[in-house]
Amino acid sequence: MPLHIDLLTDPTGAQLHDWYQVLAAALGHDLPGDPVPSPEDVYAQLATPSAYSRKLLWLARNTAGAPVGTAALRLFDEPGRTHLASLELYSHPAHRRLGAGSRLLGTAVGAARDDGRRSLITRTTVGTPGDRFLATRAFTPVLKLTWRRLRFDSMDAAAIGAAAAEPHPGYRLESWEGVAPDALVDAFALARQSMDDMPTGGMDLGHVPWTAERVRSVAEVFAKRGEQLITVAAISEADGSVAGYTELVVPADSGGRALQHDTAVVPRHRGHGLGRWMKASMIQRVAAGQPAVTEIETDNADDNRHMVAINAGLGFVPVRQTVEYQLSLTE
């Protein structure tokens, strides 16, 4: 199929509209029943610079001028990740199997190689056309994730309240929105390193040390996109350190769904039930303080048995699986 592929260096309103048409059609087709992000959310994601990375955007059209595919390549620029790129690629379901996906993939892979990257990662939902598309290329599946959902109208509020109220001698909970308080930001940055031992399936993600500056920069990106970043942290009474934390993001136009991000406990504080305590407290906080939110969605690596058990115990139910794929750019 003859195509015209544009690199969107400064997307116009019309180009953003066409981008959204492809994305909404692809998500509506591949994930029926799931809320599609609003145009405003998508535009904010595309237009807001990310901390420590930059994006290249391509929009593909057919000869009639109809938008048929999009590709967003993220190039990580901070030390420890300059080898890495990630890709989001969507094809309009009415124009699939005509070469648009392959052309966009080739364009993005070539740009990543030209920028000196050695690894490209991407994600797709199991059983969708995207999964079958990547399985026939040189990508390697490296990590399977199960997505789970907790609906507030069917959750066991009494059980979650009991979990949030359980005593944890030697610890207290603190919570905040946006950037961590100045008094905790350094300790929070140290605790963020606890995610270093999460299952990654051998993905070539590199290593980036967390600092107070990085904590603030990442939080500010969420704010610029109009999203609410909420954190609940367990604080050690013994020394005031952050023993663990859980984060959740409410999109600017959530469609009723909040997204659970990282949950981690510092190794020397594990075994005290802090993960379950923090997550139960987060659920209570969001259910009571975010009337537009009706459900929380999260994902776990299938071999992260401890967090899988916590989520199952709090009432999260599996809804789909995704696979992280990796492509070596040095071969």
- Mean predicted confidence (pLDDT) in 149-159: 97
| Distance in angstroms (rounded) separating the CA atoms of residues 180 and 188 | 8
DSSP H/E element including 85 = strand 84-91
For residues 291 and 222, state if they share a domain: yes
For residues 27 and 111, state if they share a domain: yes
197 has a pLDDT exceeding 70 = no
- Mean predicted confidence (pLDDT) in 263-274: 95
Q: Note the pTM of the prediction, 2 decimals.
A: 0.92
Can you give the CATH number for the domain in which 67 is found? Answer: 3.40.630.30
Confidence (pLDDT) at 199:
64
- Mean predicted confidence (pLDDT) in 284-290: 95
Domain coverage including residue 245: 148-320
For residues 252 and 305, state if they share a domain: yes
Percent of the chain with pLDDT over 90: 85
| Residue 64 domain flag | yes
Q: Of 201 and 75, which is predicted with more confidence?
A: 75
Structure confidence at residue 208 as a pLDDT band (50, 70, 90): confident
What residue type is 35 in one-letter code? P
For residues 107 and 161, state if they share a domain: no
Give the pairing of strands 295-301 and 257-265. Answer: parallel
188 has a pLDDT exceeding 70 = yes
Contacting residues for 122 by C-beta, under 8 A, at least 6 apart? 86, 87, 88, 89, 134, 139, 324, 325, 327
Structure confidence at residue 1 as a pLDDT band (50, 70, 90): low
- Mean predicted confidence (pLDDT) in 243-250: 96
| Distance in angstroms (rounded) separating the CA atoms of residues 299 and 308 | 9
Q: What is the mean pLDDT of the chain?
A: 94
